[in-house]
Amino acid sequence: MEKSYVFSVSLGTGCYRHIRIAQKATLFQLHQAILNAFGFDDDHAHAFFMSNHAWDPLTAYVHPATEPGDRSTKKFKLSQFKFQKGDLFKYIFDFGDCWTFQCKFLRQLEEPTHIPGVIRSKGEAPPQYADFEEEDPEEDLEDLADLPEMYEPGRLLEMYRALRIPQETQDTLFAYCMAAKRLYGIIPLKKLYEIYNWQNKTISKTDFLAFAEIMRHEANNGFAILGRECFEPDAPASDPMERELIAEHLYAISPEDYFDLREEQRGKPWCILPREEFLRYADDLYYPDSPQRAAMLKFLRTIEKDMPYCTAEDALLEVQDYIEIGLSAEDILNELNMLCAHGLKERTVRDFIPLYIELNNNSRMIANRGYTPLELRVMDERSQPPMFAPPTDIGGWNPPFQPAKPPEPSKNGPCPCGSGKKYKRCCGKNK
């Protein structure tokens, strides 16, 4: 029986499409489906890089007009790549503007797909060609100034080749960047360098900054590396280690989002997870299993029949994405309302709220530098000084505080040491 594949294809943070396509389709047909999903015209060359490294010649499959021979995308079917869940690869369209799409294999479906289609969509796709007549350069400068230049692929390739660190280290550094983007939203490079060296074989500051410089000039990673001068034009140029890795959604729409998050994070500690768990967050679709997540999924399955273009699992990802970046319950309910063909019922909203509160309290958030609200609350309670009764003012003299003496335990009662034995057979044996 013919089967189907589902791929997640993203174009920057917050803009992605889940595409369903036949297993027997070619890479060229996937290329067409991606362009249709994002509303692009098929008027330029393209290439797939199955190693997930852009411009890797060993795993490149290219436009038939560019490479009519063995590497043509019209000659390779998707089934030939033996995709496993989570496999990543890149699709680049238009070698001039270099639109880079991050592709991920999500799952295999047992039923056939005759026409490729989008089964889930999030975020508005950018225009393929800028409308120069409507652009206002002065308005852009009011938002951000002195953004780093995005380098051409050839120049980036030269910078990669000049790195003195092995490919495995480069891949790990990139994963740390992606995980830090999700957990913190904003992180100074010196802090990221500290975390990396703490959990891995130490690399020099020179090598770290050389890699960061590539990230600073490479587009479509979902983050940018910016100095304060980008947000405050009168500020002096930042020291390279003082620059910050910043999630794209915090500056792409309005710099106010960046300043608001900095204020929310003020004074909060950094949540530094164990290495293996930390790196799981490099995957934008990863969320740890929890009772609260399971409860929300169970609820979403009760309304799945009312969501014609979205599964309960996809809706759960939507909810958790929004919680992670700090959207309110009202905003999330509005999104769920749009997913449902006939809107949410009042009873459904009442059932959702307590589940949202539990999931929210146990979700990692960029506003908390990776901590859950519940973790921060427990830390805050532990840091509070012990509560003593205020001294009594008697003629200007305050007597020293005398703690109350605990009552003598009952001989036949449980021992207060917590052993589970009776007091007379434990700590009270010799009394």
185 has pLDDT over 70: yes
324-338: average pLDDT? 84
397-418: average pLDDT? 50
Q: How far is CA 341 from CA 37, 122, 223, 335, 344, in A?
A: 21, 17, 34, 12, 9
The b-or-e profile of 92-123 (16+ CB within 10 A means b, else e) is bbbbeebbbbbbbbbeeeeeebeebebbbbbe
Of 138-142, 275-279, 301-305, the one with minimum mean pLDDT is 138-142
Instruction: Look up the pTM and report it.
Output: 0.61
Torsion angle, alpha carbons of 319, 320, 321, 325, to 10: 110
Closest among 124, 226, 216, 207 to 169, alpha carbons compared: 207
Quick one: pLDDT at residue 380?
Answer: 80
Quick one: pLDDT at residue 238?
Answer: 87
- β-pair partners for 108: 5
Burial class (CB within 10 angstroms; exposed 0-12, middle 13-18, buried 19+) of 230: buried
pLDDT-based confidence at residue 420 (cuts at 50, 70, 90):
low
378 phi and psi angles, rounded to 5 deg: -65, -40
194 has pLDDT over 70: yes
Most confident of 141-145, 233-237, 273-277, 410-414: 273-277
131 has pLDDT over 70: no
Quick one: pLDDT at residue 348?
Answer: 87
Mean pLDDT of the residues in the chain: 84
The DSSP symbol for 237 reads P
Amino acid at 340: C
Most confident of 79-88, 205-214, 304-313: 205-214
242-256: average pLDDT? 88
pLDDT-based confidence at residue 64 (cuts at 50, 70, 90):
confident
The span from the CA of 256 to the CA of 226, in Å, is 15
Say whether 361 sits in a helix, a strand or coil.
Answer: helix
Quick one: pLDDT at residue 27?
Answer: 95
The span from the CA of 384 to the CA of 142, in Å, is 43
Q: How far is CA 204 from CA 13, 163, 164, 190, 258, in A?
A: 30, 12, 10, 12, 29
If one counts every other C-beta atom within 10 angstroms of the C-beta of residue 233, the result is 11
Torsion angle, alpha carbons of 52, 54, 59, 61, to 10: 110
